[in-house]
């Protein structure tokens, strides 16, 4: 969410910058400006009357005889003031509610160094690491490989849960678990992240905090039932949601920053609107595992933290020897909450293309304002510093299922077996290769 005062005072500049996303949100911005004026007038009027009433009330407290005519008269007079105040307060509250609704629907401003572009064709290749593995045969796609090896099963998962799920057997299941442990170890031991285990169900308020609600509810699984509950629960679409909101409504001390968390969780996505896309295999599922890194940092540190965090994700790919490239997303292809995003795309020889395996974003204070993430800066020369909003960042490091896919496809052999990357072998009881049984 953008700051109201900032929007009102920089209306045209905001309009121009949002335009880069493909929609200037002009109508919303104009409504916000107008409502802000209404709100300001209601505040001024309401406060004037509140002052009057407070003075009158204080005077009443001094009347010794509460049964006197003077007291009764004052009471009558003040009743009207109280009603008037309530009217203005209501007007203010209504304006604020409407403003809030509009602001929640407005995306973040793209950073200045984000390229123009309306969709993924506007994204820019920043770098490419490694090379496609040499294969003197036609590479297979992961689902054919995995099914033949008996480690992937999409028939039974369909029977159990419908489309967009999978069952993993033996080395498949082991690899999933090994990858998660491997990634967690690297991030906690080498990159300084604190491992955290969170709930997989969250209140809607947490989803407002990260920006998944109110606009993208169709991507979420909402938990049905339970009449007695007064709030909605959702399955998390990513660990970003519980982890980013972890310190919501707290006031963090300067010396506990930056907060760096890594969490391994399942992710649940409705994939509405993705009908027909990636229907085969493990690329796009309703449930998948992901190791997510999240940072809460001082505002002036977020750009550097974004570069570092992206490197942390890349490290995993490099340790696994997986050929990939880094993309800088253009303004039109970024998520609504982000101000700058790098996607890491891993090479899939079976599909003959790069596929997203990680998305690393800097959100500036956009999520922090929604989720109420603040810290008190260290005292400056002028004395005690005011609380400030933090900046939030996160990235997949990595999507475990897609990493498994990439390993199957990049490490496949002509006979259909799959070599296990060396870095992963200690997590696989030393196993070097997956072969057909």
State the minimum distance, in angstroms, from the CB of residue 282 to RNA.
29
Give residues in contact with RNA (CB under 7 A).
Answer: 4-5, 40, 43-44, 46-47, 50-51, 53-54, 56-58, 60-61, 66, 75, 78-79, 81-82, 93, 228-231, 251, 379, 383-384, 386-387
Give yes or no: 284 in active site: yes
As a whole number of angstroms, the distance between CA 221 and CA 355 comes to 24
Of 249, 182, 241, whose CA–CA distance to 212 is shortest?
241
Task: Evaluate whether 359 touches 345 at the Cβ level (below 8 Å).
Answer: no
Residue 36 or residue 149: which is nearer to RNA going by CB? 36
State the minimum distance, in angstroms, from the CB of residue 388 to RNA.
8
Give yes or no: 79 in active site: no
Residue 61 or residue 138: which is nearer to RNA going by CB? 61
Of 134, 50, 118, 34, whose CA–CA distance to 84 is shortest?
50
Residue 257 or residue 419: which is nearer to RNA going by CB? 257
State the minimum distance, in angstroms, from the CB of residue 33 to RNA.
12
Catalytic position from the list 17, 20, 402, 409: 402
Catalytic position from the list 47, 89, 94, 356: 356
Give yes or no: 229 in active site: no
As a whole number of angstroms, the distance between CA 285 and CA 164 comes to 4
Residue 101 or residue 153: which is nearer to RNA going by CB? 101
Residue 251 or residue 272: which is nearer to RNA going by CB? 251
Catalytic position from the list 15, 284, 298, 325: 284
State the minimum distance, in angstroms, from the CB of residue 367 to RNA.
17
Pairing of strands 391-399, 418-419: unpaired
Residue 70 or residue 251: which is nearer to RNA going by CB? 251
Pairing of strands 324-328, 124-129: antiparallel
Residue 347 pairs with which residues in a beta bridge? 354
As a whole number of angstroms, the distance between CA 168 and CA 409 comes to 16
Give yes or no: 356 in active site: yes
As a whole number of angstroms, the distance between CA 179 and CA 9 comes to 49
State the minimum distance, in angstroms, from the CB of residue 6 to RNA.
10
Ramachandran area for residue 227 (φ above 0: left; ψ -120 to 50: alpha; else beta): alpha
H/E stretch holding 128: strand 124-129
As a whole number of angstroms, the distance between CA 404 and CA 191 comes to 22
Catalytic position from the list 17, 39, 85, 269: 269
Catalytic position from the list 359, 361, 370, 409: 359
Give yes or no: 402 in active site: yes
State the minimum distance, in angstroms, from the CB of residue 407 to RNA.
33
Given strand 340-348, what is the order of strands in its sheet?
A: 124-129, 324-328, 340-348, 353-362, 391-399, 287-297, 259-268, 194-195
Widest Cα–Cα separation across the chain? 104
Residue 4 or residue 29: which is nearer to RNA going by CB? 4
State the minimum distance, in angstroms, from the CB of residue 233 to RNA.
10
As a whole number of angstroms, the distance between CA 265 and CA 236 comes to 9
H/E stretch holding 292: strand 287-297
Token pair recorded at residue 61:
């407290």
CB contact set of 413 (below 8 Å; sequence gap of 6+): 419, 433
State the minimum distance, in angstroms, from the CB of residue 247 to RNA.
12
Residue 36 or residue 178: which is nearer to RNA going by CB? 36
Task: Evaluate whether 338 touches 362 at the Cβ level (below 8 Å).
Answer: yes
H/E stretch holding 91: helix 69-104
Catalytic residues: 269, 284, 356, 359, 402
């Amino acid at each position: 969410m953008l700051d109201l005062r900032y929007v009102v005072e920089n209306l045209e500049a905001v309009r121009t910058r949002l335009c880069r996303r493909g929609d200037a949100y002009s109508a919303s911005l104009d409504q916000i400006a107008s409502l802000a004026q209404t709100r300001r007038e209601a505040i001024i009027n309401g406060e004037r009357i509140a002052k009057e009433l407070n003075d009158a009330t204080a005077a009443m407290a001094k009347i010794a005889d509460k049964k006197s005519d003077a007291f009764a008269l004052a009471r009558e007079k003040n009743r009207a003031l109280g009603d008037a105040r309530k009217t203005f307060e209501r007007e203010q509250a209504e304006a604020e509610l409407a403003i809030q609704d509009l602001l929640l629907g407005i995306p973040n401003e793209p950073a200045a160094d984000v390229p123009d572009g309306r969709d993924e064709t506007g994204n820019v290749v920043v770098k490419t690491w490694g090379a496609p593995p040499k294969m003197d045969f036609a590479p297979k796609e992961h689902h054919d490989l995995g099914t033949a090896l008996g480690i992937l099963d999409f028939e039974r998962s369909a029977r159990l849960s419908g489309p967009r799920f999978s069952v993993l057997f033996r080395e498949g299941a082991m690899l999933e678990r090994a990858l998660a442990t491997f990634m967690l170890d690297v991030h906690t031991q080498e990159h300084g992240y604190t491992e955290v285990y969170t709930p997989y169900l969250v209140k809607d308020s947490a989803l407002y905090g990260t920006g998944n609600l109110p606009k993208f509810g169709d991507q979420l699984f909402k938990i049905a039932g339970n009449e007695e509950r007064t709030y909605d629960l959702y399955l998390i679409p990513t660990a970003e949601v519980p982890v980013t909101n972890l310190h919501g409504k707290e006031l963090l001390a300067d010396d506990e920053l930056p907060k760096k968390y890594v969490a391994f969780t399942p992710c649940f996505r409705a994939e509405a609107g993705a009908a027909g896309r990636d229907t085969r295999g493990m690329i796009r599922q309703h449930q998948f595992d992901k190791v997510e890194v999240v940072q809460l940092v001082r505002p002036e540190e977020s750009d550097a933290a974004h570069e570092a965090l992206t490197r942390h994700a890349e490290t995993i790919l490099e340790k696994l020897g997986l050929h990939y490239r880094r993309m800088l997303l253009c303004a039109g292809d970024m998520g609504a909450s982000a101000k700058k995003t790098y996607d890491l795309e891993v090479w899939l020889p079976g599909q003959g293309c790069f596929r997203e395996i990680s998305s690393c974003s800097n959100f500036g204070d956009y999520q922090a304002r929604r989720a109420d993430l603040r810290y008190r800066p260290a005292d400056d020369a002028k004395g005690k510093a005011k609380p400030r909003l933090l900046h939030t960042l996160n990235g997949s490091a990595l999507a475990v299922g897609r990493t498994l896919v990439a390993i199957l496809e990049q490490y496949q052999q002509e006979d259909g077996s799959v070599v296990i990357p060396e870095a992963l072998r200690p997590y696989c009881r030393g196993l070097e290769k997956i072969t057909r049984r």
